[in-house]
Each structure stands twice: as structure tokens, then as C-alpha cells.
Amino acid sequence: MSLDATKIGQVVAEQMEALEARFGDDCQIGDVCTIVEVLGPHGSSVAVRPGADVRPHGLIGLLRLAERVALGDVHGEAHESE
């Protein structure tokens, strides 16, 4: 059985709507990285895929910033990133 990509598509569509509402049309998407948890009989695994042009130091920066944003959400802190 193949993986159902519906959840990924929904999350990405919601992200794009939020970005368009926040930044408008005068901006462009820079580096992109997806992080997905995969659940199955093996348990839980995490898959990370950077965009084609993301260099290793850029990927590490994205991951560290994402961690700070996520921790801010957990602790109820306001943040600028979406």
C-alpha cells in the first residue's frame, strides 16, 4: 500500500495561504525543508528532505530556527515565523 499524501498536501496548502496572507505578492519562497513522521509496524521514523538547492549550512539554520519557533509555541511565546 502506498503512503497517502493528503495530509502533506493539506499542511502545505495551509502554509501557503498563511504566507500569502502575511507577506503578500512582493516576496518569494527561499529555502524549503520538509520533516515528516512516518508511523507503521516498525514504529515511528522521521524523514527530512531539504529542497534541491539547500546547502548543508542553510539546512541546519532552517532546522535550528524551526526548533526555536516550535519551542516558543510550546511555551506560549509570541514569534514572528510561520
- pLDDT, one tens digit per residue, over 11-36 is 999 999 999 999 998 999 988 999 99
Question: What are the two backbone dihedrals, phi and then psi, of residue 18, each rounded to the nearest 5 degrees?
Answer: -65, -40
pTM passes above 0.85: no
Residue 50 C-alpha from the chain's centroid:
10
82 within domain boundaries: no
Confidence of residue 46 (pLDDT cuts 50, 70, 90): very high
Question: What are the two backbone dihedrals, phi and then psi, of residue 74, each rounded to the nearest 5 degrees?
Answer: -65, -40
| 54 CB-side CA count, 13 A | 18
What integer pLDDT is reported at residue 7 of this predicted model? 94
Neighbours of 10 (CB within 10 A): 10
60 within domain boundaries: yes
Domain hosting 33: range is 6-74
The tally of domains found in the chain comes to 1
